[in-house]
Structures are given as C-alpha cells and as structure tokens.
Chain A
Amino acid sequence: MGWTRERTLLLTTLVGAGATVAAAEVWAGSMSDAGDPGTRPDVRRAENVVILPKRVEALPPRPAGRLVLLLGNSHTYALPGLRRGQGLRPDPGATLVDELARAAGQHAQVPVTFERLAYPNFLPTEMLFRFAHLLQREHAPDVIVLGLTWRNVARDSRPRHEVRSLLRDRAFVSTLRRMLREARAPAPLTAFVDEEVRRVAREMEEERQRSHADEIDAKLTEHLGESSSLFGGSASVRARIYRALSQGIGAAFVRESDGPNAAVEDDIALNVAAARAIFALARARGIRVLVYQAPERSDLPPIVDVTRRDEVMGRLGRELRASGQQMIDAREVVPARYWGYEHETADRSHFTEPGHRLLADFIVRETAASGFWDLSASR
C-alpha cells in the first residue's frame, strides 16, 4: 500500500495535536507557581519558634520546657500580595507565631517554645483530631492559643485527607474515642468520628486491593510529574484556571445583593462540639486555653452569613471564661490598610506583617494582666 492522502491528513492531525500539547507544556511551565506559600527557604526564625509540619507522621518530639501551641488557619502564616495581581507571599519569619514569641515571651518568666500548627481553612473538627494526636504522642502544650474564624466554623466540618489519615492508626482511633468519652462529646460528634473512621477503612480497603499495575502506574505518574510541567505543575495551573473562572463567574453572576453564603447548622454544631471537646481535654490536663476571634476586614461585607455568629461565639466565650479560660475578640484589630490582595481580588483572610504584630500585641495585652503568660508555675 502506498502513501495515501488519508495518511497525510492523519499525520497533519497528529502533528497538530502534538504541537498543541507541546505548546501547553511550555505554557504550564510559565504558569506554575509555588501554590501554598509555605515558608521562605532562607528564613531565620528565633530558636524558640517551631513550625510543626502538616504531615501527621512528621511530628517532631516535644521540646523540653514550657510550650505554647498556636492553632489557626492560614491567617497565622500567609501574607497577602501588596498590589493587585500579586499572589500570597511565603512566611518570612515575621508572622503571628514569631510576634507572639516576642510579645508573650517577655511575660513568661521562664524559657518558652512557641509552636505553630496551621492549615489553610483549619476546621475545629480537624483541630480536635490534631490536638488528640499531640496528646497521644505526649506532645501536650502548656498553653493553646486558638484562632477561630467564623467561616471555618459555619461552612464545613469534614477533615481533609492529611488530617483524616490519623484514623489509619487503630491506636489513635481508640485514643480519640476514649478522649471523646472523657470530654463528654455529644452524640453527633461521636457519630461523625465513627463515620470518618468507616470512610478511612474503606479507603484502606481500596488501597489493599491495589494491583501491581496500579503501583507501577503511580510510579510512572510520579516520574512524569517530575519531568513535565503539565503533570508536575498541574495543581498550581489548575488553581490559576479556577481563579480566572471564579472571577469571571463572580463578575457575571454574583451581586452584593445576593448576600453571603448560608451558614450550615450541622457544621456549626459539629465544629462547636469539637471546640468544646478540645477545651475540656485541655482543662482536664491543666492546659491553659486562649481563643481569639481572628481579624476580619471591616471594609468588606462578610462572605458567610453571620446571623448566628455572635450567639454561638458568645456562648463559647462564656463557657470558656466560666471554666477559667480566655476568649477575646480580635476581629477589628487589624485596620484596612494592613490587608492586601490575592491575585485580582481583595484578600479577606490574610493581613500584612504589621497586622501580625498588631494581633500578637493585642492578644498579649488583653491577657497579660491576668498573669496568663506567666508560665513559671504552669500545670
């Protein structure tokens, strides 16, 4: 059979497809960025400040002496862009935990280590899992500083894969269940944990059934991820596409008159129950708790319905104070000039370095008078 016109056309199609994929590869290479801002590699922190890894299996041993643990979402570490079009900036070593070490360290009387454990949109249910894990691993702090954001209380409660993976460990599951009983957790919270345990068991069963071909495929995909921007940088490129899409959708459909997203009662109930369980476990172990309502932008309307916020947070605050623990309202501590941008939109979650300093100073100022930071006689 000779070379036919049909074959030439097929070759044209193949060349067109190949050229497009190659162009996409180049484009993806130029588009990919670091994703999660993380910490700048050259950053130098004070020796008594430790950033705990997000991976649960990478938990280091507890440092000796007094320990303060900061729990919160990305407002504790990410910095917004300074100009429209800039993305989040990596932690330069001058964020909340560093400022807290500076400000609170002066009152501590004894050497103190400050640890930060944070995830983007860190939910109270997830905080409970991680806190229980710290207790199980004998990594209990003397003080917990817990930043709560209404958005993370009212819209979601399901733990992300990284945190849920704790439930792969049977010993941890039985510890968690024992702690829930100890904290007198309500039935919906224990049912929620049971469901998550079942979900993880299903995932593990699926993994157990993975064939050799699946394992080879995982290795091939990993190898391609290292050698191709389309594969390897796909997460950040997808994030950019989503941002562009969501801005387009926002411009086309979303009106301020549409109002904020609804709060979800079940999520509120679970998150509040989880927070109460953390407080109860801490109280039983003599761990001091300080909860602050994280700063918000006062110049923009809220993105989640806040109708129930004051009632829910007010009740939590009263319960905390009644048991000798602390809750302060830091929502208006960071003025508008210390907020920034996340790409093309005004950032509602993160504030610049001066904002972190202001927040740390506020937290310490509001609580120092009661001797909260004097850790010489803690526990």
Chain B
Amino acid sequence: MRFNSVIYWLFLALAVVVLWLLPPRARRWWLLVCSLAFYASWHWPYVFLLLGVGTFTHYGAAWVAQATDRRRRGAMIIAGNLLILGLFKYLDWLVSMIDGASDWLGLGSIPLPGWVLPLGISFYVFECVSYVVDVVRKRERPHGYWDFQLYLSFFPHLIAGPILRAKELLPQIEKAIEPVTARFRDGLWLLGSGLFLKLVLADGIAPGVDEAFARAPRGLGATDVAVMGAAFGIQIYLDFASYSRMALGSAKLCGIDLVDNFDHPYVARNPADFWARWHISLSRWIRDYLFYPLVGGRATLWALCRAAIVSMVLCGLWHGAGWTFVLWGLYHGLLIAGFHVLTHGRRTAPRPTSTPTVSQAIAGRVRGAAAVVLTFGFVSLGWILFRSTSVEQAFTLVSHVLTPWAHSHRALPGTFYLHTAALVAAVWAAPSLGRLGAAALQWGSGARPLPSFTVAAGRGVLLGGMIALAILYLHGQTAFIYFQF
C-alpha cells in the first residue's frame, strides 16, 4: 500500500475512525494490528522478518542492559542486525561481484540468490541499531516488548522513515493516545499537501527525467546533463519530502508526532548545511552513530575529513547496493571534507552590533545567493552519479557537463528545461512563501490564539484544491523513489 493509492486512503480512514472509537488503552494494540496488516499487504511472509528483527533487538537490548561491559554485547546485537540487512540487501551485489571475478578466471558462474528486498529494512534495522547503541550508552532503557514492536512497525514511518529514535516515539506510545483537534487539522494539511507534491509536482517531472536518463549519454549536451541533474534533484526531493509529509500527516491523524525529514535543503549554503537539511533523520543517524565516533576525541582536520569521507561512503552504500551509490557517497564525502578544509580553524566573524549599511546588506545577500546556487550546482552534479544506472553512464554524463565546450549541442526539449527551471524557482522561493503564509495567518488571526473562520475556510479551499489536483494527476500507483532503499 503506497500513500498515493486509493486503498491506502481507505485503510487510513478505517484505521483512524476505529482508533478514536476505541477506549484509550486499546488504541496502541489497534495501531499495532493496523501496522502489521499494512506491512503484510505487501508481502506477508516478511511480517515475520520484521517481528523477528524486533524480537532479537528487544531481547538483545535487555541482555545488553544487564551487563557491566555493555559494549561487547551491544556490538554482538548490532552485528546481528547488520548481518540481516547485509543478507537481504547486499548479498546479490556481493555474489554478482564474485560471479564476475569467477567468470573472468574461467571458474564458471555463480547463481544469484535473488531474494526480494524487504520493504523498509534499511530503515527499521537502523532504528534497531540506534536503540541498541543508546542502551549501551545508557541513554535509553529497555521498553516493553509490544511497545517496541509498535515503535518499529508503526505504519506511517515503516517503509521509508523518518528514522526515529526510541525516545521520539516510545514515550508517545506508552502513554494514552488522545485526540487533539489541532493535530488532526495539521495532519490533514500535511496529507493533502504531500499528495499534491507527489502526484502533481514529483510525478509531473518524472517522465522527463526518466526519458532523459534513458537516452544514449553520448547524444546529450553539457546543458542537458546539468538540467538532468537539477531535474532529478528536484524530483527526488519532492518525491521524498511528499512521502515524509504524508507519513507525518498519517501519524498525526493517529495522534502521534513524528520528526520532519526536510528543511528546505536546496537553500543550503554549503555541503554540510545541505546534509543538515536533507533527509534529516538519516543525517542525524550518520552524524551521531558514525561521524562523531569516527572523529573521536580530537576534531583535527584530518579526523574530520576522514570521518566525513567514510561516513558518506557508507551513507551512499545505505542507499543501494551499487557502485554508483558508493561514488555518490564518496563525492559528498569529498565535498564535506573540502568544506572542512576551507573553513577549519576559521572563527565565525561576530555579528556586527550596528545595523549594516545598504551596500553591506546587498553584498551579504549576493554572497548568500551565490553560495546557495553553488551548493545547488554541486549537489545536482552528485545526483547524476546517483541516478545513473551504471558507472559508465555516470562518468560519460559527468564528463559531458565538465566539458561544455566539447558538448555544446542540446538534445532535450525546451519544455523540460522550462519545467525544471520553474520547479527550481519554486523550491528556492518556498521558504519565503512559507514565511509570507505564516505572516498572512498571523494577520488573519490578529491577537487571538486560533485562526479566524475566514482563515480556516481559506485553508480548506487551498487543501481541497491540492487534493483535487492530486486526484486529477493520479494515474495508477507510482513508486516512491526511497521505497527501494
């Protein structure tokens, strides 16, 4: 069941209506039943894998908590989790590499296991790992078995995150789940706007992107490739951000708050800033459980660069079993390392106490805009590596964009350029538009704590408009890009 399907809307409506009809103590059980049914609707045998991973981690964490030397036991439980992830996600890739080598040596071919990748396994295994690490670090205590299973399987975040810490969800589950009208209103808004982002904007640009990347790379010019990178960057952002909005919205309707995954990543001013805004729950995980331990006690430039590169390569590998993802991670690691080299040891200039002059303000804005555009350009180049289906395609495309004098022709239609430009402009304008919207709501509500009826009705019309457009653009279920990770 994908969030952009009719069956999910019916499922969610049923789940929410029954939830609020039940007595408070029964609600978490209902959510667990719904979550397992949600996962089973895709491939029921893997419900046992999900429950099995949850059981192993729950009892493993309890075993860790009893020990005086928690690190050794914790390492064993984490290794068990990573082994499961490796078996299901990376075994085919490893075997295909061994097969290639074996073929080359004339030793015959090795059949691939060909196991179906369990949906969401990268997400829930990472949650298990963070839980065990937090127990080792005594930042988390072992929780109840069924509460822990609901933490892992809660359907809005099960398939593609956000990757939650135990402390962010378990306390909400453990206390009585109560309806809050404001949460319900926000949930509907997040669902409607998420549907709009996915079906109208992300799926709108998707055919152009797919067609461009399916073309023979040598026929594409430098500007074509640059626009393809930007277009895919916008597509994956809208696709994943829309999923996250719908996850947050669904959870709110069930009385649960999840953490947001995006904070306008394309207005980031440097690579580190980008990762602080992009897929925040994963970035946080990488930072806390990989980057900081790798940096160690002394944050020397070498330690920072090494940790950035290793963390980002592993981050790339998390996204998929393939060399293009490794390259993409390495590229981002090098970008962040480069940023550390440029800024290490530099102290941030103190904010001037006096009001800046007009020229200073303009210069600041221009510098900021240039940093945003430059960061966007670097990130877009990375998306070429990410989206390419082979290393060969990735290198050919990147070589074209880096040698514009040799590839000045244009093969992609002008409408694709305009479509991409319009979406980039919209994404860049979104933070300002958000601030304007908030200001308008303030203006509408005056000094009262709640919006007026006019604002509520206006919000309803806007929500209805987005839902109507989403329905208009719904043509069968389209996959979310992050489902495959």
Contacts and interface: CB of A to CB of B under 8 A. Distances in A.
Contact of B215 (A17, A21, A266): A266
Contact of A246 (B5, B415, B465): B415
Contacts of B429: none
Contacts of B8: 217
A10 B414 contact: no
A216 interface: yes
B464 A19 contact: yes
A25 B464 CA distance: 11
Interface residues of B, number: 51
A243 interface: no
A162 to B, nearest CB: 15
A290 B451 CA distance: 72
A279 B471 CA distance: 46
Interface in A153-197: 155, 158
B100 to A, nearest CB: 18
Given A253-B418, A264-B219, A264-B411, A17 B464 contact: yes
Given A230-B472, A231-B474, A213 B464 contact: no
Nearest to B5: A217
Nearest to B44: A211
A213 B42 contact: yes
A237 interface: yes
A20 B6 contact: no
- Looking at chain A's contact residues, the main secondary structure is helix
Interface in B451-485: 451, 453, 456-461, 463-465, 467-469, 471-477
B472 A16 contact: no
A300 interface: no
B464 A216 contact: no
Contacts of B450: 5-6, 9
Interface stretch (A88-96, A116-124, A218-226): A218-226
Nearest to A4: B181
Interface stretch (B182-190, B243-251, B269-277): B182-190
- Looking at chain B's contact residues, the main secondary structure is helix
B367 interface: no
Contact of B458 (A16, A216, A258): A16
B413 interface: yes
A221 B411 contact: no
Contact of B188 (A13, A261, A266): A13
Interface centre among B7, B413, B414, B451 (most CB of A within 10 A): B7
A254 B471 contact: no
Given A221-B476, A230-B472, A13 B185 contact: yes
A51 interface: no
A246 B418 CA distance: 10
A151 B112 CA distance: 44
Contacts of A237: 472
Interface in B214-239: 214-216, 218-219
Nearest to A230: B471
Contact of A21 (B409, B410, B464, B476): B464
A7 interface: yes
B211 interface: yes
Contacts of B219: 264-267
Contacts of B116: 209
Contacts of A24: 464-465, 468-469, 471-472
B418 to A, nearest CB: 6
Contacts of B42: 211, 213
Nearest to A195: B214
A267 B411 CA distance: 10
Contact of B473 (A16, A217, A238, A261): A238
A19 B457 CA distance: 10
Contacts of B409: 262
A209 B184 CA distance: 35
B465 A214 contact: no
Contacts of B475: 234-235
Contacts of B41: 211-213
A46 B184 CA distance: 64
A103 B128 CA distance: 77
Contacts of B453: 8-9, 12
Contacts of A155: 413
A195 B473 CA distance: 29
B181 A217 contact: no
A52 interface: no
B194 interface: no
B460 A15 contact: yes
A7 to B, nearest CB: 5
Interface centre among A20, A216, A217, A230 (most CB of B within 10 A): A217
Interface centre among B218, B450, B453, B460 (most CB of A within 10 A): B460
A20 B468 contact: yes
B456 to A, nearest CB: 4
A10 B184 contact: yes
A377 to B, nearest CB: 44
Contacts of A234: 471-475
B439 interface: no
A220 B477 CA distance: 12
B7 A220 contact: yes
A321 B426 CA distance: 55
Given A13-B463, A20-B468, A24-B468, A261 B413 contact: yes
Contacts of A28: 472
Contacts of A254: 414
A220 B181 contact: no
B484 to A, nearest CB: 11
Interface centre among A21, A155, A213 (most CB of B within 10 A): A213
B185 A231 contact: no
A18 B6 CA distance: 17
A18 to B, nearest CB: 7
Interface in A2-41: 4-10, 12-21, 23-25, 28
20 contacts: A9-B453, A10-B456, A12-B457, A12-B460, A15-B460, A17-B188, A17-B192, A17-B467, A18-B464, A24-B465, A24-B468, A24-B471, A24-B472, A230-B468, A234-B474, A249-B415, A253-B414, A264-B215, A264-B411, A267-B219
Given A217-B477, A235-B475, 16 more contacts: A6-B450, A13-B459, A17-B192, A17-B460, A17-B464, A18-B464, A19-B460, A211-B43, A212-B41, A217-B6, A221-B6, A224-B6, A234-B472, A234-B473, A261-B413, A266-B215
Interface of B: 1, 5-8, 10, 41-43, 116, 181-182, 184-185, 188, 192, 211, 214-216, 218-219, 409-411, 413-415, 418, 450-451, 453, 456-461, 463-465, 467-469, 471-477
Interface of A: 4-10, 12-21, 23-25, 28, 155, 158, 209, 211-214, 216-218, 220-221, 224, 228, 230-231, 234-235, 237-238, 246, 249, 253-254, 258, 261-262, 264-267
Which 3 pairs between the two chains have the least Cβ-Cβ distance? A16-B460, A20-B464, A24-B468
